[in-house]
Homo-oligomer: A and B are copies of this chain.
Amino acid sequence: MIEPRGTGALTRLADTALARDIGYLTVKAFAGSTRIVNARLDEIGLRARSYSILALACSGLDATQRDLAAALELDPSQVVALVDGLESSGLVRREQDPRDRRQRIIQATPAGHALFKRARKVASGAEAEALAMLSAAERETLWEILRKIVFAGP
């Protein structure tokens, strides 16, 4: 942006209309956070999405693949590949629901529960790192607003 050396390219960006654009800010904030979270989770063989699947498999909700798709806003066909990966690593099992043999309930194995215990700490640390510039009160406010976006029915 044709500035003296040493001046950040973003210096004047904060003054533009884009800085008021929640869409832009969301994309940028999300990109940075995802990078951090995935980098940390990669160390234990997970990513943001496989972590979420594992979390639900550990939750005791007896979620079917269809439920996982709905909960994570994914297409059912994407869930197949994610569960395949976790299953081949021995972290979850597909259990046939005796009440409807079409459905597969995804349950975490003992190894899955053990890894999730570690993964929660990793994810929580990554979150703290990604949001280090926020106060505890601001993080709480962000959580409340996100919760409202996700769980408020349309």
Contacts and interface: CB of A to CB of B under 8 A. Distances in A.
Interface of A: 1-2, 9-10, 12-14, 16-34, 37, 48-49, 51-52, 55-56, 59, 61-64, 66-67, 70-73, 97, 99, 105, 120, 123, 126-127, 130-131, 133-134, 138-139, 141-143, 145-152, 154
- Number of identical protomers: 2
B10 A70 contact: yes
The interface residues of chain A, by DSSP majority, are classed as helix
22 contacts: A10-B151, A13-B71, A16-B56, A16-B59, A19-B147, A22-B131, A22-B142, A23-B51, A23-B126, A23-B127, A25-B146, A27-B34, A29-B146, A29-B149, A29-B150, A31-B73, A32-B150, A130-B149, A131-B149, A134-B148, A138-B145, A142-B145
A127 B142 CA distance: 17
Contact of A27 (B25, B52, B120): B52
B28 A72 contact: yes
B143 A141 contact: no
